[in-house]
Chain A
């Protein structure tokens, strides 16, 4: 665990965070609030789509984000040799 690979590890971590946080922001705030009216013109079963994102879809996306993060970080931990024994 050298200072160099610590820095590289942190950089990779920040890049991953940025990508995942974009999804965290876009799905609830853009699909669920800002664009809710146009999306509501589309039906998902009996759900208006915007309403579905606000009351169901966002939550499923949050779950995916956290598990993707946990898996990717375990991989980064090993790759940069900073994992726990």
Chain B
């Protein structure tokens, strides 16, 4: 066992022992504790738990990689995933807390006085949460495959096992306190390497300032971002600070979809049912964003600096010079390790024993590359998801930092998976089983049913994790589209439009989610199964035929369809009964909020 192995096993082993210890200590004894942690969580503590619940494998592992390779274009994730908290804090959280029930479908069912609405909401919730959980599974697979040096599949099976033990034990009460511990682990794991790297590249320990600082190894005359722009464009890649994702319209739609989707994600919303008061729900959303912003404002620095380090590692001298490229035989240790996982692949196309990494899709650069004797990009695979995990090794940081990053990635994936599984299991056991099919079920039986449905959800997510539809962040973005198109509009209209009725809300949700799924599946395959995509590009309906909006950015269109259909249907059907209008008035004022209750 190497020194790094010992560090990694110790750090990861210690954190796992801590999570399981907390989960046992805070085990749920009642449904109130299982669903909403008894309703007594301090707003700052809930903010921290929300941070961990929210920041997933996508945020921790994938986002910096997406930023590294998409530059400015990846701003959609930064703005979208934080701006949603404004909508959540201003439009939903305080009112749903006042309503004071256990689940999101429960609000929709009561507000729209309809079991059908409740069931439609459950289906939307499960679709969105399952898609979201796939991203976590992928993240766990990547972290484990690196950590145990196993295959991705083996990593995934191990991850599923750990999540199963962990989520079934926890309940919301256990999950809350575990998530607080997981937040601490993941934020340390994220910021410590960032500080080291920022210090070495810019001389400034604060990554948020370092990214706007000067490139210190170059003598300090040039800013880091200008240096990065130069390095990537010299090799035929797009300029880092200006490259857009699709088009400006696509970025606009993508950002808005992520914002609305964030506000509509049930596993985030239910976290605000755990605080004592309406006032706490407002502040708690602010605290959640404080803890999230710590990572989200660091990520752009991590992405940019990782990209610069990667390019510098391979392109060691002037471009086109005899010895300008790294000899494959001289490749660093981290390179070999990631090759073993299959996530990094090299192919010596021109048999010169050196690594050429450039953009061979760029026609303007092709002639130049040919004159150097380059025969195509030889880094045939650089998986974006490895950037954060490989970053400390690329920067040559000590082994304990690398071990901490592995633990942080796992903390991020586990905490989010647990939150999602709770949202899914509470929808099945509380909304479907107790709410619809077996209203007389005992509390103990309901608890057991919740735990059983968690196990089922893990198996489904694991299967889809083995056939992942894209990068972890890309998969997650689809979940956001679904939440944006179904749940957010139904909740918002329920609070802000007294006139919205059962028929309007149901028609709106079905139309919104229907149009979004159609757009995603026609491109990505039905339930992401390869080869089942329809309306092929040959028919003039490619991936982004609708005004160039990519499937991941389509949620906002789905939301607009939902609102539109709901308005029209509500206008021609009977207004909601008087007691529902009183309920809406009551939800709008804070006075009289009690603890969350189950019926």
Binding site for B on A (CB under 8 A): 1, 6, 9-10, 13, 17, 20-21, 24, 28-29, 32-34, 36-37, 40, 44-48, 51-52, 54-56, 58-60, 62-63, 65-67, 69-70, 73-74, 77, 82-85
Whole-angstrom CA separation of A81 from B242 in the bound complex: 51
Return chain B residues, CB-CB under 8 Å to A21: 86, 90
A39 CB to nearest B CB, Å: 12
Which stretch (B280-288, B378-386, B542-550) binds chain A? B280-288
Q: Is the CB of A63 within 8 A of B293?
A: yes
B383 CB to nearest A CB, Å: 23
Q: For this complex, into which size category does the number of interface residues on chain B fall?
A: 35 or more
A2 CB to nearest B CB, Å: 11
Q: Is the CB of B225 within 8 A of A69?
A: no
Return chain A residues, CB-CB under 8 Å to B296: 59
B487 at the A interface (CB under 8 A): no
> When the two chains form the complex, which single residue of A32, A45, A73, A84 contacts B209, counting CB atoms closer than 8 Å?
A45
Q: Is the CB of B300 within 8 A of A46?
A: no
Sorted nearest first, the 10 A-B pairs with minimum C-beta distance are: A46-B223, A54-B75, A45-B212, A70-B282, A66-B286, A47-B212, A55-B300, A82-B589, A28-B79, A46-B212
Q: Is the CB of B212 within 8 A of A1?
A: no
Q: Is the CB of B591 within 8 A of A82?
A: yes
> When the two chains form the complex, which single residue of A29, A82, A85 contacts B252, counting CB atoms closer than 8 Å?
A29
Q: Mark B222-243 against chain A: 1 for CB-CB distance below 8 A, else 0.
A: 0111100000000000000110
Binding site for A on B (CB under 8 A): 67, 72, 75, 78-79, 82-83, 85-87, 89-91, 94, 208-209, 211-214, 223-226, 241-242, 248, 251-252, 255-256, 277-279, 282-283, 285-286, 289-290, 293, 296-297, 300, 585, 588-593
Return chain A residues, CB-CB under 8 Å to B278: 84
Return chain B residues, CB-CB under 8 Å to A82: 589-591
Given contacts A51-B241, A62-B82, 14 further A-B contacts (CB under 8 A): A1-B591, A21-B90, A24-B90, A28-B83, A33-B255, A46-B212, A55-B72, A56-B208, A58-B79, A59-B82, A59-B289, A65-B86, A66-B86, A84-B591
Return chain B residues, CB-CB under 8 Å to A84: 277-279, 590-593
Q: Is the CB of B252 within 8 A of A58?
A: no
Q: Is the CB of B85 within 8 A of A62?
A: yes
Q: Is the CB of A56 within 8 A of B241?
A: no
Measured CB to CB, the nearest residue on chain A to B286 is A66
Measured CB to CB, the nearest residue on chain A to B299 is A55
Q: Is the CB of A54 within 8 A of B78?
A: yes
Return chain B residues, CB-CB under 8 Å to A48: 225, 241
Q: Is the CB of A70 within 8 A of B286?
A: yes
Measured CB to CB, the nearest residue on chain A to B87 is A24
Q: Is the CB of B72 within 8 A of A54?
A: yes
A24 CB to nearest B CB, Å: 5
> When the two chains form the complex, which single residue of B214, B241, B589 contacts A6, counting CB atoms closer than 8 Å?
B589
Return chain B residues, CB-CB under 8 Å to A46: 211-214, 223-226
Whole-angstrom CA separation of A48 from B224 in the bound complex: 11
Return chain A residues, CB-CB under 8 Å to B225: 46-48, 51
> When the two chains form the complex, which single residue of A60, A67, A74 contacts B279, counting CB atoms closer than 8 Å?
A74
Return chain B residues, CB-CB under 8 Å to A69: 89-90, 282
> When the two chains form the complex, which single residue of B85, B208, B241 contacts A40, counting CB atoms closer than 8 Å?
B241
Return chain B residues, CB-CB under 8 Å to A56: 208, 297, 300
Return chain B residues, CB-CB under 8 Å to A33: 75, 248, 251-252, 255
Q: Is the CB of B212 within 8 A of A6?
A: no
Return chain A residues, CB-CB under 8 Å to B592: 84
A18 CB to nearest B CB, Å: 10
Whole-angstrom CA separation of A56 from B72 in the bound complex: 11
Whole-angstrom CA separation of A57 from B83 in the bound complex: 12
Whole-angstrom CA separation of A32 from B256 in the bound complex: 12
Whole-angstrom CA separation of A33 from B242 in the bound complex: 11
Whole-angstrom CA separation of A51 from B251 in the bound complex: 13
Whole-angstrom CA separation of A3 from B279 in the bound complex: 21
Measured CB to CB, the nearest residue on chain A to B251 is A33
Q: Is the CB of A32 within 8 A of B79?
A: yes
Can you list 12 A-B contacts (CB < 8 A)? A1-B589, A24-B87, A33-B248, A34-B252, A48-B241, A52-B212, A58-B78, A66-B90, A67-B286, A70-B279, A84-B591, A85-B591
Whole-angstrom CA separation of A37 from B243 in the bound complex: 11
B563 CB to nearest A CB, Å: 16
Q: Is the CB of A58 within 8 A of B83?
A: yes
Return chain A residues, CB-CB under 8 Å to B72: 36, 51, 54-55
Return chain B residues, CB-CB under 8 Å to A74: 279, 282
Measured CB to CB, the nearest residue on chain A to B210 is A46
Whole-angstrom CA separation of A41 from B494 in the bound complex: 44
A43 CB to nearest B CB, Å: 8
Whole-angstrom CA separation of A21 from B94 in the bound complex: 16
Measured CB to CB, the nearest residue on chain B to A85 is B591
Measured CB to CB, the nearest residue on chain A to B91 is A17
Known contacts A29-B252, A54-B75, A59-B78; A40/B589 CB under 8 A? no
Query: Which of B209, B212, B248, B252 counts the most chain A CB atoms within 10 A?
Result: B212
Whole-angstrom CA separation of A49 from B525 in the bound complex: 40
A74 CB to nearest B CB, Å: 6
B472 CB to nearest A CB, Å: 20
Whole-angstrom CA separation of A67 from B585 in the bound complex: 25
Query: Which of A20, A44, A47, A85 counts the most chain B CB atoms within 10 A?
Result: A47
Whole-angstrom CA separation of A56 from B304 in the bound complex: 13
Return chain A residues, CB-CB under 8 Å to B78: 54-55, 58-59
Return chain B residues, CB-CB under 8 Å to A17: 90-91
A23 CB to nearest B CB, Å: 9
Return chain B residues, CB-CB under 8 Å to A47: 211-212, 225
Return chain A residues, CB-CB under 8 Å to B279: 70, 73-74, 77, 83-84
B4 CB to nearest A CB, Å: 32
Measured CB to CB, the nearest residue on chain A to B43 is A70
Return chain B residues, CB-CB under 8 Å to A24: 83, 86-87, 90
Return chain B residues, CB-CB under 8 Å to A32: 75, 79, 255
Q: Is the CB of B289 within 8 A of A63?
A: yes
